[in-house]
Amino acid sequence: MISLSGMPLVEWLIAWALVIVVPLGTRSPWLAASGALAALSFFTRDGAFLVVPYVVVVFGEALFALKRALERGVHVATLEDIGRMQLAVGATWLLASRAEIDTGYDAAITALTAAHFHYAGFATATVASRVLDRVGPTALVVGLGPGIVGIGIAVSPTLELLAACTLALGMVGLGVAMIRKDRRLVLPALPLLGTMALAIAWAVQEFLGGHALLMPTMAKWHGVGNALGFATLALFLTRTMSAPSRLLGPLTEPPAAPSAEATPGAEGPGLVASLTPFGLDRAPACIQRYHLEPESVILLLRPTWRPRWLGPLAHAITRRLGNFVLPHEDRVHRVTNQVTRLDATHVYSVRSTDYGPMFRLTYSTLGQTMRVQGDAGLGHLDIHLSAEGVDPHVLRSKAIFWVVGGWRIRLPLSEQLHGHAHQDQFLATQTFDLLGVEILRLRYVIAPEPQESFLA
């Protein structure tokens, strides 16, 4: 290993990450201070105790990041949280390195692993969260790749080769995305492309048992190129770039869902008092009537599960939860609403089908969004609906959260609703996707006396 004034180059790279890279990737003064303290361990004999505050702070940040990631769900901004969690892995290996703990690998590999998760893990995921516009192959590889490479090293050379090459190609994809994002990012993108070519060459060499590339050469060109040419410059530039937040998290911190046993008031039977905040005041009469006088209309629905066996399974599970009992038989179900006003802002609705209660939900208005809450097992579901989209006459979910205690977990579910008015009836198709794959399609007819023939 290359030595600078008696200290191996990899240790200089870790110290640089602690003092420069981590503060550029976060805005936490605690991380900056504890990181600087940990960097002093490289200049002090038996200085492992100096790393302990850094590990404690990093793990605290990682727990907050985990909670935030569950709220954000599958979203490009979640890469920032993944970076914080990978920083915790790097901090653990750093402590093992400075304390000379036996990890099953030699001291150089332990130190390199600490460096790997600070740069390829934390720094790269943080840059990707600021650069990428959507969740795609590049985002998945950048987020999961470093961990998979570590597993590959521990399991088999073949898996290590596949994981390393996949991660390198994902990094190349990030470099291309950086160049397309902003011309200033060409400067850190070019070193990244070069260091990834070295990473692929190293992985192939390790698999074939060659010795053309030596560890000092990799540390000098791959390590320094990533640390200075890519991570430091990219984090600095993306931090100074002004970009709107892409977080599709909760619209606001929610109050506790009101109790369904609250004393009902005497005011109106509608799910909401007015449709104007949602832009539905010009919607077809049947749509307005459904929201303002839900007990005066009937809703027919016909479910189609994909695959079919998923329907009975989902029905059995949701039945045990006692709410959100999903229909599963491929036939027309007749649905009615019973509405009770709880207070000035909340309405309680029981939606029933021919097999019993289907949903028990609380409706309220939050700005231009309709908020729907309902019990779901240990916690409750919190759904935000708005009229944004290609069909301005229907409401769609912007986010679906499962709230357990103080944790808001964004579910990997998305929903689309398309419909049109036909005479005095509203015909609609609603689809639910799990991780982008459609699992349920519901076809609706809403009218005072809807015709079942539309769902044949």
The string of pLDDT tens digits covering residues 177-218 is: 888 888 888 888 888 888 887 777 766 776 677 666 666 666
Helix, strand, coil tally for the chain in percent (to 5): 50, 20, 30
- Chain mean pLDDT for the chain: 78
Q: Tell me the domain boundaries of the chain.
A: 3-240, 276-455
- The enclosing H or E element of 382 equals strand 379-386
User: Does residue 427 carry a pLDDT above 70?
Assistant: yes
Q: CB-based contacts of 96: which residues, under 8 Å, 6+ apart? A: 103, 110, 114
pLDDT value, residue 246:
34
Indicate the DSSP class of residue 264.
P
User: Does residue 28 carry a pLDDT above 50?
Assistant: yes
pLDDT band (50, 70, 90) for residue 54: very high
**C-alpha span between 348 and 437 (Å, rounded):** 32
What digits encode the pLDDT tens for the residues 308-324? 888 888 877 777 666 77
pLDDT value, residue 414:
78
**What CATH class has 276-455?**
mainly beta
pLDDT value, residue 377:
64
The token duo for 93 is 């290996």
Contact 26, 20 (CB under 8 A): no
What digits encode the pLDDT tens for the residues 227-269? 888 889 899 888 876 433 333 333 333 444 444 444 343 344 6
**C-alpha span between 92 and 118 (Å, rounded):** 11
pLDDT value, residue 266:
38
Q: Which of 71-85, 110-124, 357-371, 376-390 has the lowest mean pLDDT?
A: 376-390
Contact 56, 105 (CB under 8 A): no
pLDDT value, residue 219:
64
Return the number of other C-beta atoms located less than 10 Å from residue 384's C-beta: 21
What digits encode the pLDDT tens for the residues 365-410? 777 778 888 877 667 888 888 776 555 566 777 678 888 766 778 8
Give percent of the chain with pLDDT exceeding 90: 14
